[in-house]
Copies of this chain bind each other. A is one copy, B any other.
Amino acid sequence: MRHKIRVVQYGVGPIGAAMVRLMLEKPEIAIVGAIDIDPAKLGKDLGQVVGAGRDLGIPVSDDATNVLRAGAHVVVHTTSSYLTQVADQLITCLRSQVHVISTCEELAYPFRKHPDLSQQLDHVAREHHVALLGTGVNPGFAMDKLVLTLATACQQVSKVRVRRIVDASRRRLPLQKKVGAGMTVEEFQAQVQAGVIKHHGLPESTGMIADSLGLSVERIEETILPVVAETPVRSDYIEVPAGKVRGVRQVAVGLDLNGEEHVRLELAMFLGAPDPVDSVEISGVPDLNLAIPGGIHGDLATAAIAVNCVPAMLETRPGLRTSRDIPMCYLPGVTQMRQTQIA
């Protein structure tokens, strides 16, 4: 008899819902619970909430401790970008002796920004013999894991440059709004000041690259600039006249003590961006460049990556782990090999 990996979904927003729908297609996975605090979802069947087209017999609950008592192996957690906001949620899961995969961006590589909290989470996870992993497409894959994987083929690495160019007009309306499309430059800058226009994760990816490859990065600087339309552009949802904002260009650089740059990450998301791509340039022995023409689709990939990491959690050492520490490929065989762990 073959056992399934029992998963609880923690957070049933648009991304969490996409993960549930994807997990329903994976024969290795059984969804056994769902947690959310949204009153509009509480008590409803998870299948209805995520648009699965059928009931799953799983009511959405806000009582995490009780849901986790159902004997899950792994929690997939998608609630917030800020580690301080989710730390208590994560600790509740870890204390229930359940592995956790979270898309919290600050958890993707938390050691530099939150050293004390990282240590605490690592300690709690080890104490309860489970692993905690922050991952997703970005941070967690496109601008860090992919870099480190390519760098395996290099004898030496001195500098890394990563670009992610997204044509926002091909994405959901919320993303188009999130990048400031249609705003005046002044409105855009006010939203940047307010912390609203900001992709979370570039410093985390920069830190992961630098620390993993032994690059001397003492300081990480981040800038967020508008991409202004020189001629009118439009998407299905938004029209941007010349002079207004098409989207955002966000750059993080990792500098050594002398101000020399060793890591540069550029994330540009704007309407009508030509030649969308994910690209990596490594300066080293040898130099190596990689390109994914068209780029990795953010929404599809974030759900894919978190779900594809589920089996690997059973193989992972207890403690706080990151994308760099795990093999990152979907292994149907794992559940056959490790029956003892999930029996």
Residues on A close to B: CB < 8 A?
A: 22, 25, 137, 141-142, 145-146, 148-156, 211-214, 285-286, 288-294, 296-297, 300-301, 303-305, 307-309, 315, 317, 324-333
The 7 A-B residue pairs whose C-beta atoms are closest, nearest first, are A148-B329, A153-B301, A214-B332, A155-B304, A152-B328, A149-B149, A286-B297
Chain B nearest CB: distance from A316 CB in Å? 10
Specify which of B152, B288, B296, B308 is in contact with A329 (CB 8 Å cutoff): B152
Of A137, A146, A304, which is in contact with the most chain B CB atoms at under 10 Å from its CB?
A304
- Interface pair A293/B289, CB less than 8 Å apart: yes
- Interface pair B327/A326, CB less than 8 Å apart: yes
- Interface pair A145/B149, CB less than 8 Å apart: yes
Interface majority SS on A: helix, strand, loop or mixed?
mixed
Contacts A286-B300, A300-B286; A324 near B329 (Cβ below 8 A):
yes
Task: Kindly list chain B residues whose C-beta atoms are within 8 Å of the C-beta of A149.
Answer: 145-146, 149, 328-329
Chain B nearest CB: distance from A337 CB in Å? 9
A325 to B155 alpha-carbon distance, docked (Å): 21
Contacts A156-B25, A290-B291; A330 near B151 (Cβ below 8 A):
yes
- Interface pair B292/A292, CB less than 8 Å apart: no
New A-B pairs, 18, CB < 8 Å, besides A146-B149, A149-B328: A142-B153, A145-B152, A146-B150, A152-B304, A152-B328, A152-B330, A153-B301, A154-B304, A211-B332, A212-B333, A213-B330, A213-B332, A214-B332, A286-B300, A286-B301, A289-B292, A315-B317, A326-B327
A142 to B328 alpha-carbon distance, docked (Å): 16
